[in-house]
Amino acid sequence: MLAAPPLAAVSSIAHVKQPIRVLELLVTTSPGGGPKHVWDLVQHLPRSEFEFVIGAPRDGIFFDRFRDRGLEVVEFPLAHLGVRHFHLTRRLISRLRIDVVHTHGKGPGCYGRLVARWMRVPAIHTFHGLHDSGYPPLSRHLYLALERQLARWSHTIINVSRSQHLEGLGLRLFRPEQSVVIVNGVDIEDMERVLLESPIRRESLGLTAADVIIGCVSRFDPVQRIELLVEALRRLRARFPRLVLVLVGGGGEQQRIRRLVFEGGVSEQVIFTGFLESPARIQPVLDLYVASSRKEGLPPSILEAMAAGLAVVATDVPGHRDVVVPGETGLLVTPEDPAALADAIAALLTDPARRKSLGQAGRERVRQEFSISAMVDATAAAYRRAARR
């Protein structure tokens, strides 16, 4: 029979703090804001203090990345909402004694917060963009009403940009005291390592030094408005016959975009790379980074482009305007205006000195204001508050 441990030993064991167990619920594991955000957290937060469990569809490269990292990853159905989502979430919270549920995206934000409320576990929701404007009036009204109710059941709402925070307040999506602004950050050291070890070269894409190359890293969905980039290219091809558009990513809109490229007669000037495990590898190929989305949270792809020293042309929407300082780090243009987009691209392509100056200023801005450590530290503090640690 084993002897009982000394009283002092029992006391010390009782005071050992257990890690905060965080359930991260994602709508996708394809490259994009939510998955990249969670990946940065699991990479940088100390395992001695935080344990992560991932619930997400197996539809992208981050699913296996999380598993290779040694995390427990549970496959959720790809559909946005269903009975199985609620069942899996409840079972994970119960079996693993989850301390905090952190949701990303509309579907997880719904079933994750509902189950967390039912099981009395604090929930944190991150808005990676407010995408309500594309709904018909009645659907938009119902969606906003649902988000307001879900916010009442949330401990914290994280907004990834100041302009998104202000937009959300205007829509009454959360109370002011609930919201914390935690801007996305860039792991510049890791990015520089990737660029040093495995940069993509122009010749690997069939391009030469004489080509003028603009590019975008994005998930292909309606919000990103990739077709505006194609239209801007079509408007510029006579003026810049060696102009090439490189599109990195994929998604549900890809076949439609490919069709538009063919119908617009610019097939020879557009390169689709598909998803890249490290999208920053494309930056050495580009002369200019362009983003045409109609809504954003705060896209990591623009931060990475700026960190690589590229000037940026982007639509003047929340998220973009938090990063791009007009005339200082890039240019902002009116959304849904391909003519304005083409004019801004042309203005920078014809002025290499200005483009270089904007790129250098953008690189310095990212280093000073969008560090990965600041994002990670602020999120850790939100987890501790929610878990009362």
- Classify strands 50-56 and 72-75 as parallel, antiparallel or unpaired: parallel
Is 311 in contact with 260 (CB distance < 8 Å)? no
Q: Mark whether 264 and 146 lie in a shared domain.
A: no
Q: Mark whether 364 and 377 lie in a shared domain.
A: no
Q: Mark whether 202 and 349 lie in a shared domain.
A: yes
pLDDT tens digit sequence for 328-346:
999 999 999 999 999 999 9
**Residue 123, domain CATH:** 3.40.50.2000
> H or E segment at 179?
strand 179-181
Q: In one letter, which amino acid is 17?
A: K
pLDDT tens digit sequence for 67-104:
999 999 999 998 778 899 999 999 999 999 999 999 99
Domain that holds residue 129: 17-185+372-387
* pLDDT for position 132: 78
Q: Mark whether 42 and 166 lie in a shared domain.
A: yes
* pLDDT for position 296: 86
Is residue 1 in some structural domain?
Answer: no
Q: Mark whether 39 and 124 lie in a shared domain.
A: yes
Q: Mark whether 151 and 228 lie in a shared domain.
A: no
Please give the average pLDDT of every successive group of 10 residues along the chain, which has 389 residues.
Answer: 45 63 95 88 95 95 94 92 94 97 96 97 94 84 95 96 94 95 91 89 93 93 92 95 94 91 94 89 94 89 93 94 94 96 97 96 94 94 96
Q: Mark whether 170 and 77 lie in a shared domain.
A: yes
**pTM for the full predicted model:** 0.85
Is residue 7 in some structural domain?
Answer: no
Distance (Å, whole) CA 130 – CA 146 = 14
Q: Mark whether 29 and 112 lie in a shared domain.
A: yes
Q: Mark whether 194 and 176 lie in a shared domain.
A: no
* pLDDT for position 14: 43
Distance (Å, whole) CA 83 – CA 79 = 11
Q: Mark whether 226 and 165 lie in a shared domain.
A: no
Q: Mark whether 174 and 311 lie in a shared domain.
A: no
- Classify strands 288-291 and 270-274 as parallel, antiparallel or unpaired: unpaired
Q: Mark whether 57 and 82 lie in a shared domain.
A: yes
Is residue 208 in some structural domain?
Answer: yes
Tally of structural domains, the chain? 2
* pLDDT for position 7: 44
* pLDDT for position 129: 85
Is residue 10 in some structural domain?
Answer: no
* pLDDT for position 29: 92
Is residue 249 in some structural domain?
Answer: yes
